[in-house]
C-alpha cells in the first residue's frame, strides 16, 4: 500500500494521535463536498463541446470527483452554464437553479455566459449573473478544457473553505433576495 | 415546354391588370410587385393555375425601408417555387409604415403560419386573419420590433463595454 501510485486527497489540519484524529467539522464537510461535486451541464453552444472533451477520458473531470454528471437539477451540486443564454432562456435557467438543492454552486463557462460575449444584442442575456448568482467565471471563447478544469478546481477551493453555516446566514439570504430567488 | 417568365407575366397581367407591375429579372430570379390588397388573390391564382402551379412557398419575410414614403415603408416578400418546371419567382408588396397590415396567406400555404408570426415578431406587421399572431422567437415580454431600423442593435444592459476602448468617445480620457 505504501508504494502505491494512488493519489489521495490530503487530510485537513487536525490533531493526530494513536487511533484518533481530531479536526473541525467544517473542514471535513468541506472536503467531502469539494471532492464529490456533481455537475449539471447546461450546455447551449460551443462551450458545451469543450465540456464534452473535459468530461471525456483525455481530460477526465472524474478525477476531481465529478464522475457523475447529473441531468436532473435535484441531484446536482454544481450548475455549469456553457454557452449563449438568450433572454428567452433566462427564466428557464433560473428555474433550473431554483430546483437545485442547497448547497449549490454555479460556474459560468465562456464569454457568453459570463458577459454576453460578442452577442451584445437585444435577444441575448448579458451575463447569467443578471438572473442567478455565480461563483466562478471561466473566460475564453470557448475556453480550453484545461481552463474548465481550472475553474472546477477554483470552485473546489471555494467549497473547501465555505462555512457550513453560510447557506443559512443573513448575507446569503440577502444575496438570494437580491435575485428574487426564494 | 419550360415555363417562360414572359408567360407568367402575360397571364398575371391578363388576370390582374395594373395590380401587378415592376416585372424584372433580378439576377436569376424573376420578380414583380403586387398591390397589397390583391396579394391573396395573386398568390391563390399562382398556386391554382394549372400552368403556373407555384405550389410551394419557399420564404416569406419583411423588409423595413425607413427612407421610403410613408405608404411604402414596409415590404413583405414572398418566394414561390414551381417544382414541375423548377421555376422560382419573387413577389414584393409594399405597405404603410404607420399601420403596417396585410391579409394573411396562412389559409393558402399552411407553412406561412410561422413565417408570418416571425415577420410580425421582428417588424410588427399585422397579418389580418392569421389564426395565432403572436411572437415566435423573441421573448413574450418584448414590446418593440427589433428588426425595424430605429431599434438599437446593442443591448442597453451591457456593463463591461467601456466606450473609451471602442473608439466611441472623441477624447480618450
Q: List pLDDT tens digits, range B114-127.
A: 999 999 999 999 99
- Say how many CA atoms lie within 13 Å of A136 toward its Cβ: 22
Q: Does A124 touch chain B (CB under 8 A)?
A: yes
* Candidate from B137, B146, B157 with C-beta closest to A126: B157
Percent of chain B with pLDDT over 70: 94
Q: Does A116 touch chain B (CB under 8 A)?
A: yes
Q: Does A121 touch chain B (CB under 8 A)?
A: yes
Confidence (pLDDT) at B155 = 79
B65 to chain A nearest CA, in Å? 21
Q: Whole-angstrom Cα distance, residue B88 to residue B23?
A: 14
CB contact under 8 A, B146 and A115: no
CB contact under 8 A, A88 and B157: no
- Across B59-71, average pLDDT: 94
- Using a CB–CB cut-off of 8 Å, the residues of B that contact A are 137-139, 142, 144, 146, 151-155, 157-161
Closest chain A CA to residue B151: A122
Q: What grid cell was written down for B53? A: 402551379
Confidence (pLDDT) at A152 = 95
**Average pLDDT for chain B:** 90
Percent of chain B with pLDDT over 90: 77
- Across B59-74, average pLDDT: 94
Q: List strands edge to edge, sheet with B87-95.
A: B20-26, B29-34, B87-95, B74-82, B56-64
Residue numbers in A near B153 (CB within 8 A)? 120-122
Nearest alpha carbon to residue A103 among A11, A27, A172? A172
Q: Does A174 touch chain B (CB under 8 A)?
A: no
pLDDT greater than 70 at residue B62: yes
Mapping DSSP onto H, E and C, the string for chain B reads CCCCHHHHHHHHHHHHHHHEEEEEEECCEEEEEECHHHHHHHHHHHHHCCCCCCCEEEEEEEEECCCCCHHHCEEEEEEEEECCCCEEEEEEEEECCCCCEEECCCCCCCCHHHHHHHHHHHHCCEEECCCCCCCCCCCCCCCCCCCCCCCCCCCCCCCCCCHHHHCCCCCCC
Confidence (pLDDT) at B133 = 93
CB contact under 8 A, B155 and A88: no
Q: Whole-angstrom Cα distance, residue B64 to residue B76?
A: 9
Class of domain B5-151: alpha beta
- Across B2-19, average pLDDT: 91
Taking the domains of chain B in order of start, what are their residue ranges? 5-151
- Across B88-108, average pLDDT: 94
How many contacts (CB atoms, under 8 Å) link A and B? 39
Confidence (pLDDT) at B172 = 52
Residue B1: pLDDT band (50, 70, 90) is low
Regions of chain A with pLDDT less than 50: none
Confidence (pLDDT) at B101 = 93
- Across B52-65, average pLDDT: 94
Taking the domains of chain A in order of start, what are their residue ranges? 37-162+169-178
Question: What's the topology of domain A37-162+169-178?
Answer: Rossmann fold (3.40.50)
Beta bridge partners of A78: A39, A105
Instruction: State the pTM of this model.
Output: 0.83
Confidence (pLDDT) at B157 = 75
Amino acid at each position: 500500500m505504501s508504494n502505491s501510485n494512488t493519489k489521495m486527497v490530503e487530510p485537513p489540519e487536525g490533531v493526530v494521535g494513536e487511533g484518533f484524529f481530531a479536526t473541525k467539522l467544517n473542514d471535513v464537510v468541506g472536503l467531502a463536498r469539494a471532492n464529490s461535486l456533481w455537475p449539471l451541464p447546461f450546455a447551449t453552444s460551443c462551450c458545451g463541446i469543450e465540456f464534452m472533451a473535459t468530461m471525456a477520458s483525455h481530460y477526465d473531470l472524474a478525477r476531481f470527483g465529478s464522475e457523475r454528471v447529473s441531468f436532473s437539477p435535484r441531484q446536482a451540486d454544481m450548475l455549469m452554464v456553457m454557452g449563449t443564454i438568450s433572454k428567452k432562456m433566462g427564466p428557464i435557467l433560473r428555474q433550473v437553479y431554483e430546483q437545485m438543492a442547497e448547497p449549490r454552486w454555479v460556474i459560468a463557462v465562456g464569454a457568453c455566459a459570463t458577459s454576453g460575449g460578442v452577442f451584445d444584442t437585444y435577444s441575448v442575456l448579458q451575463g447569467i449573473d443578471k438572473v442567478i448568482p455565480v461563483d466562478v467565471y471561466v473566460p475564453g471563447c470557448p475556453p480550453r478544457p484545461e481552463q474548465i478544469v481550472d475553474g472546477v478546481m477554483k470552485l473546489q477551493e471555494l467549497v473547501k473553505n465555505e462555512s457550513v453555516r453560510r447557506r443559512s446566514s443573513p448575507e446569503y439570504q440577502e444575496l438570494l433576495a437580491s435575485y428574487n430567488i426564494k | 415546354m419550360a415555363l417562360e417568365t414572359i408567360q407568367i407575366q402575360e397571364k398575371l397581367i391578363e388576370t390582374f391588370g395594373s395590380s401587378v407591375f415592376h416585372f424584372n429579372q433580378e439576377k436569376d430570379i424573376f420578380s414583380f410587385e403586387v398591390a397589397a390588397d390583391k396579394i391573396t388573390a395573386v398568390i391563390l391564382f399562382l398556386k391554382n393555375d394549372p400552368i403556373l402551379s407555384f405550389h410551394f412557398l419557399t420564404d416569406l419575410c419583411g423588409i423595413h425601408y425607413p427612407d421610403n414614403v410613408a405608404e411604402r415603408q414596409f415590404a413583405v416578400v414572398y418566394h414561390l417555387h414551381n417544382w414541375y418546371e423548377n421555376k422560382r419567382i419573387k413577389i414584393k408588396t409594399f405597405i404603410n409604415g404607420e399601420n403596417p397590415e396585410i391579409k394573411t396567406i396562412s389559409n393558402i400555404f399552411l407553412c406561412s403560419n410561422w413565417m408570418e408570426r416571425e415577420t410580425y415578431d421582428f417588424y410588427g406587421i399585422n397579418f389580418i386573419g392569421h389564426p395565432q399572431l403572436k411572437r415566435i422567437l423573441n421573448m413574450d415580454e418584448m414590446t418593440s420590433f427589433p428588426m425595424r431600423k430605429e431599434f438599437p442593435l446593442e443591448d442597453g444592459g451591457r456593463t463591461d463595454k467601456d466606450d473609451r476602448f471602442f473608439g466611441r468617445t472623441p477624447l480618450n480620457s
